[in-house]
Amino acid sequence: MSYVTDPSVGYGQFRLENCGTIAVTAAVKSAWLELGGHRQPLAGITVFDLDQDRMLNPESFKVDAEATVTFLIGFPVVAHEPRFGESTVVGLRLSINGTELQALSPIEFVRRIPYGV
């Protein structure tokens, strides 16, 4: 995440690979933002399929057999200016045909100096 002033985050990127021979159904169970070791639950979650350029239902979306879905988990923007070296991640817990999976999407903040300063 590149910024000059007022950094914020509003999404995390994830990839779900179905290596099986049958389609699976995924559902978002929870999402959170970890800021400097503190976990903040996220509400108002949206799921956007980057491959198909369309919104998905976070309560139930299909991943075809031997397919991969790359998607964004969107949420209301959270303003945050990280301290030097502080880690920030978007966390996600999914249910895949009843099996729970958890993943993290790291966010790297890069402060830019405006041209001419």
The CATH number assigned to the domain holding 44 equals: 2.60.40
Domain that residue 64 falls in: 2-111
With respect to residue 117, please indicate whether it lies within any of the assigned structural domains: no
CA R_g for the chain? 16
With respect to residue 95, please indicate whether it lies within any of the assigned structural domains: yes
Confidence band, pLDDT 50/70/90 cuts, at residue 25: very high
Nearest to 88 by CA among 7, 16, 5, 15: 7
**CB distance 79 to 96 below 8 Å:** no
pTM of the model: 0.81
- 40: number of CA atoms within 13 Å, CB side? 17
- Number of folded domains that form the chain: 1
Q: Using one digit for the tens of pLDDT, what is the confidence trace for 33-84?
A: 988 778 999 999 999 999 999 999 999 999 999 999 999 999 877 776 666 6
